[in-house]
Copies of this chain bind each other. A is one copy, B any other.
Amino acid sequence: MKIANIFESIPKNFEDEFTDLLAQNEKVRIERIVSKGHASPATGWYDQEENEWVIVLKGAAIITFENDGDIKLETGDYLYIPAYTRHKVKWTVPELETVWLAVYY
């Protein structure tokens, strides 16, 4: 049994948002995403063919939904994003890492 910690193995400085694959099979993909002031590109939307369940475990973020406007997520907040729900990350807190856990299925 191999343990890891979701808040560890984060570089002190990183330029781009990064993603780690934590677990995967043919049904599901579990990822850690680490942001620090990052946001989605100004144009375009995430428009995924998978359902996503996402939780912010550290930091804070604002997700913009095409049909629902802005939603702020603080530590511990989670959200279900059905497939083909257009959204983007508008903001993540710049002073510290925002750690997301995302389950795609």
> Residues of A with Cβ closer than 8 Å to B?
1-8, 22-23, 25, 27-28, 30, 51, 53, 55, 57, 65, 68, 71, 73-74, 76-81, 101, 103, 105
Contact = CB atoms under 8 A, between A and B. Distances in A.
A55 to B, nearest CB: 6
A6 B51 contact: no
A88 B4 CA distance: 19
Copies in the complex: 2
Contact of A79 (B2, B28, B77, B81): B2
Chain A contact residues: over half helix, strand or loop, or mixed?
Answer: strand
B7 A76 contact: yes
A53 B30 contact: yes
Contacts of A3: 71, 73, 77-79
Given A5-B76, A6-B55, 17 more contacts: A1-B65, A1-B81, A2-B79, A3-B79, A5-B77, A7-B76, A8-B76, A22-B53, A23-B53, A23-B80, A25-B105, A27-B27, A27-B105, A28-B103, A30-B53, A57-B57, A103-B103
